[in-house]
Amino acid sequence: MNAIVTVVGKDRVGIIAGVSTAMADLNVNILDISQTIMDNYFTMIMMVDISDTSADISEIRKVLDVTSEKFNVSINLQHKDVYEAMHRI
């Protein structure tokens, strides 16, 4: 099952490494990633495959919440279908 992870916050060293490490620790595969800095704000969106993780969505979110606090960014995880439905024009 694919999911979308979004990360937004003030830019600082280590955000990509921290989020990627959290994903790897959960055995979540990053399929695609895009990131940019806009006026000193870090923005990233990732498509991830959560099929091989033993963690459920709520456990993944708890790990991402810890990562979010560590880097002072907002991290959201949504099922890909939900994300796409929310962003249809």
- Map out the domains of the chain as residue ranges: 2-86
Q: Which CATH number describes the domain made up of 2-86?
A: 3.30.70.260
Nearest one of 72, 84, 66 to 15, comparing CA atoms:
72
In whole angstroms, give the CA distance from residue 10 to residue 73.
Answer: 7
Q: What is the pLDDT, as a whole number, of residue 67?
A: 97
Please say if the pLDDT value at position 10 is more than 80. Answer: yes
- Give Cα 62 to chain centroid, integer Å: 12
Strand partners, 37: 42
Confidence of residue 81 (pLDDT cuts 50, 70, 90): low
Q: pLDDT, tens digit, for every residue of 14-70?
A: 999 999 999 999 999 999 999 999 999 999 999 999 999 999 999 999 999 999 999
Q: What is the pLDDT, as a whole number, of residue 85?
A: 56
Q: Are 28 and 49 in contact (CB under 8 A)?
A: yes
**CA torsion, points 49, 69, 39, 82, in degrees to nearest 10?**
40
| pTM greater than 0.85 | yes
